[in-house]
Structure 1
Amino acid sequence: MPGTVLLLAASPLGRGRLVDAAAVLPVLAAVAPTVLSGADTANVVELADPVDPQGVLTRLRAAAAAPGPLTVYLTGQLHLDRRQRLPHLALARTAPATVRYTALPWHWIREELRLRPPGQTALVVDLHADAEVWRHLHEHPLDSGRTAAVYGRIAPPAGRRGPAEPSYMKTVATLLRSGHRPPLDELHQQALARIPEETPTNILLAPAPVPVPQPYPVIPHPTPGGSPGFGPAVAPPEPYGVPVGAGAGADAATGVGTVTEPSAPAGVPPRPGTPGTSDPHAAISAAVQAGRHDEADAIAARHQAAAVAAHGPASEDALHWAEVRADLAMFAGDAARSCQVWMEVAGARLTAGEAVDAPAVEAAVDRAHHQWGRIDETARARELGPALAELRARVPGRRRGALEDVRRQLRELQRT
């Protein structure tokens, strides 16, 4: 089975550039695709200084949907958005005042990779942080999800001597040019050994060691959200009116292979605290891949009902299963059902007191918006439109003109 490689190098043009990210791409491009991937054959997609976060999201989503192993080589710089204080990967047009709209939220990366099977996804990163996000990361480590293995480093601000060199990623690329890709943990250690003067000041990233099996079950401690091991199931926004897998416009994307629209989830991470099997997501994934969409939804519905009974309809556990069902409706081609469920999720979060600009709320409305635009039945789209417009008026999201987009399409529907 072929592997997939995504080469992403991004940093702002002009004075805000902390690292010359694109300088690493020629070195990586000189490495054979099979070595970059670690698979017998590989497709490579390259993004050099992209300008549009939605375009990057489209490429990332397509890469995450491809079967087989996925390796993402990511070089760039991190900033916090001023409103929500969340890490973002800066793109070519990013400035401190426009991070929220022109940079790629890190949690989009995490959530796109969450549907992939464990052990099939790796990120190799060389990231540089500004002073604000550097302080933030010492209290809130970068979260890349449970199923992705992350190797690399985050470097502190380099001072005023100009953009820093992506020395970690260049070293990785140089090692790979030998034609051999060792296990990534070994590759990571070899790269660090070649830049010893930098590592003492860096945040070093590598997967935690696999724990030794316990003789008795280990009961997880509750997180602040209440349920064991749970956090918000934040879903990244969809590009309005742009089919999944469409072109990225101004992004400089080149490479070998075809970027395709996902047809089924490749797998989902285990989520503790659910009834029955320890990993119902695996059963759901298998059912979807076999085309048994009703069976997949029935499994999710049972777990959603159990979560509602145990924790309430607004609990993270219950909302997680609602989000799973919204995704399953999308994979089954039922855009109307997916839109409706995403609107219900957004409404439940707002009723529970979440802010209109909370990532999970914005994500639910954005996905409802996108799915609404994919409804084939005019009558059904017309029926759901007013509720979406009302919801969009409360939750404008990150993309300017989103509410007007709904209103314009609704006016067109009313004339048909």
Structure 2
Amino acid sequence: MPGTVLLLAASPVGKGCLVDAASVLPVLAAVPPAVLSGTDTANVVELADPLEPQAVLTRLRAAAAAPGPLTVFVTGQLQLDRRQRLPHLALARTTPASVRYTALPWHWIREELRLRSPGTTTLFLDLRADPETWEWLRANPLDSGRNNAVYGRIGPPPARRTVAVPSYMKAVATILRSGHRPPPEQLHQHASARLGAEGYADLVLTAPDAAGRTAAPPPYRPGTTRPPTQDGPMHAEAYGVVSAGVGDPYAVVSAGVGDPYAVVPAGVGDPHAAISAAVAADRHADADALAAYHEQAAAHAHGPASEEALHWTEVRADLAMFAGDSVRSCRTWLAVATARLSAGQPADAVGVETAVDRAHHQWGQIGDPVRARELGPALAELRSRVPGRRQGALDHVRRQLRQLQTQG
């Protein structure tokens, strides 16, 4: 029985583009259809930068209705709609304000594949998330449908004013161009191994759990810290006097020596939503000050090495990444890893491995050789204790350090 392959690559036109999704299609299109599908023959449907979500739905519905195995390759970026805050695949005309009307709701993919026979559907995903969606993924798994095998990665937002390359999907295509199609799990492992340090920050997608959902990043626990209020962990002698107007999600508070003013929450609403809004508005300093306030309050209430405090430290590490400050992000992730190890967590604990992986990724983004050399030894020391699950990580750090020694 012939198989069916759907190649979908989509990203917004203009400054909202996070990934050059369409660049992967020529590489995938060069792979014989039978190899893409893993069947003797296959029909291939290609969608490059589609404009209308309904047009994508029509092609997806037809592919889902076809008998035989179905393989779906999706490259693009995820964004949330402002009303329901649900993930969508951004299309060519998508802007942050028009996600609900111009992007493809991710749950449409799930629903169209829902009635297919178990074991007949495989998805390979190479996705980038904007800052708001990356924050959402801390607490929410990406539901791609029960009984579907899902492989790939979701990457964090690229550095400011840059467009990412879909390296994972290009690696998949390059492997398949050899004419040999390994089993999906092996194909995923081989492609991931080719990413090197680039992939250390990713949320890796593998076969779904019993609920048909790919896991959210385990180390993050948003919402576990109760937002401080005037009768909660916040004390006047430590944090000053809050001054906030009605409806104002931020307040100015006297923060003590060295930092006379900081932007902090008014004690109401979801602090993560307020942080996401600040990042979306390019108010990166405000977002970091808000997270720093919660970090300090959590450390005061639960201890500096508590999960509550470390969660906010992790948030600040991501905020530094969103602001394009790879040095600060790397340093913060190194601090998280060290704190977790010092607290007795094993080297293979998910939180420890994730912190070191993301420190490694951010270290690779540092453009100043001097700053990279400063942080390199600390990363190498941690890598010797936390090798991670990707082979060659410690060797990569040592090799890069040797190259940095020859640079100015």
Asked if 1:72 is matched to 2:99, the reply is: no
The separation in 1 between residues aligned to 2:97 and 2:195, in whole angstroms, is 33
- SS at 1:198 equivalent: helix
Deviation at 1:161, TM superposition (A): 4.0
Letter in 1 for 2:56: V
Aligned to 1:120: 120
* Structure 2 residue runs without a partner (length 5+): 211-408
Paired position in structure 1 for 2:169: 169
Letter matched to residue 49 of structure 2: D
Does the aligned pair in 2 maintain the 1:113–1:147 contact within 8 Å? no
Q: Deviations over 1:365-388 (max 9, x none)?
A: xxxxxxxxxxxxxxxxxxxxxxxx
Q: Structure 2: which amino acid aligns with 1:2?
A: P
Paired with 2:208 and 2:117, the residues of 1 have a C-alpha distance of 18
> Which residues in structure 2 correspond to 1:9-408 (within 5 Å)?
9-208=9-208
Cα contact 2:119–2:149 (8 A) shared by 1: yes
Q: Residues 3-34 of structure 1, C-alpha deviation per residue, up to 9 Å, x if partnerless?
A: 00000000000110000000000000000000
TM-score, reference length from structure 1: 0.50
Amino acid across the alignment from 2:41: T
**Cα 1:209/1:134, change in 2 over 3 Å:** closer
State the distance in 2 between where 1:26 and 1:71 align: 17
Aligned AA for 1:181? Answer: R
Report the alpha carbon displacement of residue 199 of structure 1 after superposing the two structures with TM: 2.1
Amino acid at match of 2:32: A
Q: RCO (CA 8 Å, sep 6+): is it higher in 1 or 2?
A: 1
Stretches (4+) displaced over 6 A? none
Code of the aligned partner of 1:163: V
Per-residue Cα deviation, 1:203-240 (whole angstroms, up to 9, x for no partner): 00001589xxxxxxxxxxxxxxxxxxxxxxxxxxxxxx
Larger radius of gyration: 2
Cα offset, 1:126, TM superposition: 0.2
In structure 1, give the amino acid aligned to 2:47: L
- Structure-2 separation of matches of 1:209 and 1:187: 19
Q: Secondary structure at the match of 1:68?
A: coil
| Structure 2 Cα separation of the partners of residues 13 and 208 of structure 1 | 32
Percent identity for Structure 1 against Structure 2: 73
Task: Name the CA distance, whole Å, in 2 between partners of 1:115 and 1:203.
Answer: 27
Structure 1: runs of 5+ lacking an equivalent: 211-416
* TM-score normalized by the length of structure 2: 0.51
Question: What secondary structure sits across from 1:97 in the alignment?
Answer: helix
Deviation, structure 1 residue 148: 1.0
- Counterparts of 1:92 and 1:124 in 2: how far apart (Å)? 21
Spell out, residue by residue over 1:120-154, the C-alpha distance to the aligned partner (whole angstroms, 9 max, x if none).
Answer: 00000100000000010110010011121100000
Distance 2:138 2:179 in 1: 36
Instruction: Give distance in 2, aligned partners of 1:87 and 1:100.
Output: 10
Describe the SS at the equivalent of 2:200. helix
Aligned partners of 2:185, 2:34: CA distance in 1, in Å? 18
Q: How many residues align?
A: 211
In the alignment, the residues of structure 2 paired with residue 92 and residue 6 of structure 1 have an alpha-carbon distance, to the nearest angstrom, of 18
Whole-angstrom CA distance in 2 between matches of 1:208 and 1:51? 30
Deviations 1:244-283 (A, max 9, x none): xxxxxxxxxxxxxxxxxxxxxxxxxxxxxxxxxxxxxxxx
